[in-house]
Amino acid sequence: MRDWDGAEMLTQPRMAVENLRIGRNGSTLLDVPYLALGGPGPTLILGPNGAGKSLLLRCMHGLIQPDGGTVWQDGALLGEDHRARQAMVFQTPVLLRRSVAANLDFVLRRQGVRWGSRKARIAALLDEGGLAGKERQAARSLSGGEAQRLAILRALACNPEILFLDEPTSALDPAATQAVEALILRASARGTRIVMVTHDVGQARRLGHDIVLMQAGRVAEHSQAADFFAAPRTAAGRAYLSGALVI
């Protein structure tokens, strides 16, 4: 049984957006009248290329200012204090120009973890992510999949309240994908709210509590995962699952 099966839905949305709009050169990139991510388990965001998934994540992480609309966290307008308790793993990993260990040490130190404990924590994290033995390697010399795993470990090391993951396993082999999914489920069980974009329907089925399907900048469907995969409510949902939904 997954950790959130049978769990009570939170009454207050952890994340919500209202009247979110982004446009460029006369075309609508994002248009979301209302979306509430109330938990408790991972929200998986699906949709074709260019549907606005990354833009939505960036808005909820406060990285881009929409042309209109508001982002709420725990019933209050998204502010710096919320952002400090969020973490994001980007589609293309962003790493410090330092060693693998230093990338993790940086976030642990920022949280006030003492050096004695940091060393053990770094070793444990690298072990969990299959990067043991690479502590001294320059982070920028890691392979694409290794760099993505380090970015995920660094985000998890922050123990964030909310973790946004943008296609975190798209560059990973099956074994690494499985390891990362286990890390994500563990973080979710510890209480981190996961909001994750993927193109892997199997992964959305394995991890998702609820599914947000995006199409052309809009939310085409937001359903409980079990309902979505059993019988989507919308034509877009049915088209997506049959492989026919494009742009």
Ligand X SMILES: Nc1ncnc2c1ncn2[C@@H]1O[C@H](COP(=O)(O)OP(=O)(O)OP(=O)(O)O)[C@@H](O)[C@H]1O
Q: Quick one: angle between helices 174-189 and 144-157, nearest 10?
A: 10
Largest CA distance in the chain: 55
Least Cα distance to 206 among 175, 227, 182 occurs for 182
| Residue placing its CB nearer to ligand X in the complex, 121 or 218 | 218
* Closest alpha carbon to 195 in 222, 227, 171: 222
> Could you say which residues in the range 55-84 bind ligand X, by CB under 6 A?
55
Smaller CB separation from ligand X, 54 or 192: 54
Considering only residues 47, 130, 168, 208, which one is a binding residue for ligand X as defined by CB under 6 A?
Answer: 47
Q: Which of 51, 152, 155, 204 binds ligand X (CB under 6 A)?
A: 51
CA distance 15 to 171: 28
**Applying CB under 6 A, which of residues 23, 38, 50, 62 lies at the interface with ligand X?**
50
- CB 245 to ligand X: min, Å: 12
| Interface stretch with ligand X, choices 13-21, 52-60, 146-154, 225-233 (CB under 6 A) | 52-60
Q: Mark residues 40-59: x for contact with Mg ion by CB under 5 A, - for none.
A: --------------x-----
Written as six digits, the tokens of 217 are 């900048």
Residues 147-176 touching Mg ion, rule: CB under 5 A, are: none
CA atoms within 13 A on the CB side of 171: 18
Beta carbon of residue 81, minimum distance to Mg ion (angstroms, whole number): 27
The runs of H, that is alpha helices, within 18-166 are 53-60, 80-83, 100-110, 115-128, 144-157
Binding residues for Mg ion, per CB under 5 A? 54
Binding residues for ligand X, per CB under 6 A? 24, 29, 47, 49-55, 91
